[in-house]
Amino acid sequence: MEIDKAIQESHDQSLKTKYNNAIYVIQRALALYPIEEVAFSFNGGKDSTVLLHLLRAGYYLHSVKCGQSNGDVSNHSSAFPIRTIYFESPSAFTEINSFTYETASNYGVQLDIIRQDFKSGLEALLKTKPTRAIFLGVRFGDPTAVGQEQFSPSSPGWPPFMRVNPILDWSYRDVWAFLLTCKVQYCSLYDQGYTSIGSVNDTTPNALLSDNNSTGENKKFKPAYMLTDGRLERAGRAKKSFHQHDVSNGLKSAESHRNRVLTASIVCVGDEFLSGSFNDKLGRSLCKKLRSIGWTVSNIAIVQRDVDSVADEVEKQKAINDMVFVYGGVGPLHSDVSTAGVAKALCVRLVPNEDFKERLLHLYGEKGSGDVIKMAQLPEGVTELIQHEKLHVPLIKCENVIILTATNVDELDQQWCSLKSSNLLELTESFVTKHITTSLSDVEVAQPLSKICSKFPDIYIGCYRQSRSGPLTITLEGKDDKMVEAAMEAVSRTLSSC
């Protein structure tokens, strides 16, 4: 087998060790699961290209070990025996698609092509073709690697299968050492300065590989394998920009700045809240504080202490809100996964932050150094520490996500004062709120209030009862006090005529 021969003849002892460990994981998986119930997720990138050739070598060596082959390469089937999944995306580079199909043709790979999102496509595929294990080209530096081991069951809410990660402990340097040592073809984009490839919408050549002798449209880049610091392989991934925007939810922004409405989402992390064993007071307090500066809270979510649950919620909310606040699940415990979830949502990895580490060591002392090292792992390249004299440790800001370390209302008060003084939160005109009560039934006021809502689209009009037999309280809220007053008079006139 040419791959195994190239590695064994190499003088790179570190690469040999990584190769042998990966082959062991592959052979272990092939011994545990029938070949018909194993799949391989291939995306044309450098990591999955490495895994493709490791699987070719691993399957060959497994066959020899089991007596299914005598070791004669000439008699070994050229068809790749493991079912291969390819998620084809309209936003993929044409070079990636071309390389994928060319590679499949060269090595006899039968592709199951899926044109849906990963989760939906996987669910549909596994219904028709039962699969117990899937080989993935995940490495520790990847955002999706958080919490994974070489054999890791799929996350809650996903189809059940075993994730097999043979190159989980490989570095950027290991990947390129393998590709160059084995002299296998890889996607041409890597020779054009791309070091980590996503979609055409979020991927550019890595500026660290820029050729200083070229400029403008003729700008050239060195090959990806010339990047000396593998920690910067994702430097070519564009980050989502943070745009403040208006909303239309009954509190619509007017043209003037004073009527501007900014939205926030609150994500509470903790199984104790979901089980009902602990009362969440921080969420309520944070809502009041945000309302006091003219912000509206669009959503409060309580999620499990699970990296994927946190990441899914943060990714969804950060795209549609001006700011996302995350609390709970922050600390040194095994269940403290909030920071890792935020990193995954932002598609970055966790790396040590020396400034944060020093502050934590000053607070907890050397006895807690092991826990401090874990807590000091923060999202790479997107983290800003908010320092303040009232805080024992800085606040953590990652793009438009604020990670709060508060565990009680008093601590939240301190962190809120620090946030306000740091000018991170834009102060807008406060809401004007008025209330009116009536003994009329819900049925009697439903149609009249509906008409008033249509006449005052910029005013939020809501209703609630403290008890089933108590009076109905009608709340009117907006940023234009004259408009709120006019709506209030309209409601009063309407109710008096009912």
User: CA 231 to CA 179: how far, in whole Å?
Assistant: 19
User: What stretches of 394-491 adopt beta strand conformation (E)?
Assistant: 395-398, 401-404, 432-438, 460-465, 472-478
What number of residues does the chain have? 498
Q: Give yes or no for a contact between 261 and 479, defined as CB atoms under 8 angstroms apart.
A: yes
Q: Which residues pair with 461 in a beta bridge?
A: 476
The answer to whether 411 and 405 have CB atoms below 8 angstroms apart is yes
C-alpha distance from residue 149 to each of 18, 71, 144, 222 (Å):
15, 31, 11, 33
- 413 close to 390: Cβ distance less than 8 angstroms: no
For residue 478, give both structure tokens: 């907006």
Per-residue pLDDT reduced to its tens digit, 354-390: 888 887 877 776 665 666 677 788 888 888 888 777 7
Which residue in the block uniquely carries the two structure tokens 């070489």? 150
Nearest partner of 135 among 233, 53, 16, judged by Cα: 53
CA 399 – CA 382 distance, rounded (Å):
6
CA separation for the pair 149, 165 (Å, rounded): 7
**What does the alpha-carbon distance between residue 133 and residue 33 come to, in Å, rounded to a whole number?**
7
Look up residue 144 and give its two tokens. Answer: 């999706």
DSSP state at residue 199: -
Distances (CA, A) of 164 to 139, 149, 387: 11, 8, 41
- Round to whole Å and give the CA distance between 22 and 376: 30
Phi, psi of 248 (to 5 degrees): -125, 85
Residue 329: what are its φ and ψ, rounded to 5°?
Answer: 70, 25
Residue type for 285, please? S
pTM over 0.75: no
Distance between CA atoms of 459 and 77, rounded to whole angstroms? 71
| Region 2-177: CATH code | 3.40.50.620
SS3 content of the chain, % helix, strand, coil (to 5): 45, 15, 40
Give φ, ψ of 132 to 5 degrees. -100, -20
What is the residue extent of each domain of the chain? 2-177, 187-236, 257-421, 432-497
Instruction: For residue 93, give the nearest of 206, 218, 189 by alpha carbon.
Output: 189
**Amino acid in position 290:** L
**Run of H or E residues at 379:** strand 377-379
- C-alpha closest to that of 338 among 405, 286, 400, 291: 405
Burial of 291 (0-12, 13-18, 19+ CB in 10 A): middle
Q: Cα 121 to the chain's mean position, in Å?
A: 19
DSSP 50-98: HHHHHHHHHHHHHHHHTTS--S-GGGS--S--SEEEEE--TTS-HHHHH
Per-residue confidence in pLDDT tens, the chain, 498 aa? 899 999 999 988 889 999 999 999 999 999 999 999 999 999 999 999 999 999 999 999 988 887 765 554 444 446 789 999 998 888 889 999 999 999 999 999 989 898 877 778 888 888 888 899 999 999 987 777 777 899 999 888 788 999 999 999 999 999 999 999 999 999 999 999 999 998 888 889 998 998 877 666 678 899 999 998 887 888 887 644 433 333 333 333 333 344 457 889 999 998 888 888 777 889 999 999 998 888 889 889 999 888 888 988 998 888 888 899 999 888 767 668 899 999 888 888 888 888 888 878 777 766 656 666 777 888 888 888 887 777 777 889 998 999 998 888 999 998 898 888 877 777 777 788 899 999 888 888 888 888 888 888 878 888 888 888 889 999 988 888 888 899 889 988 888 887
62-99: b (≥16 Cβ within 10 Å) or e: bbbeeeebeeeeeebeeebbbbbbbbbbeebbebbeeb
Q: For 282-324, what is each residue's pLDDT tens digit?
A: 999 999 999 888 888 988 999 988 888 898 899 888 888 889 9
* Spatial separation of the C-alpha atoms in residues 397 and 372, rounded to whole Å: 19
| Helices vs. strands in the chain: H and E counts, helices first | 15, 17
Tokens 């501007």 belong to residue = 260
Helix (H) or strand (E) holding 26: helix 13-32
The CATH superfamily holding the domain 432-497 is EIF_2_alpha (3.30.70.1130)
Token code pair at residue 140: 């520790």
Using N-to-C axis directions, what is the helix angle for 338-345 and 307-318, rounded to 10°?
50
Residue ranges in 219-325 assigned as alpha helix (H): 271-274, 282-292, 307-318
Please give the CATH superfamily to which domain 257-421 belongs: MoaB/Mog-like domain (3.40.980.10)
DSSP string for residues in 85-141? EEE--TTS-HHHHHHHHHHHHHTT--EEEE-S-HHHHHHHHHHHS--SEEE----TT
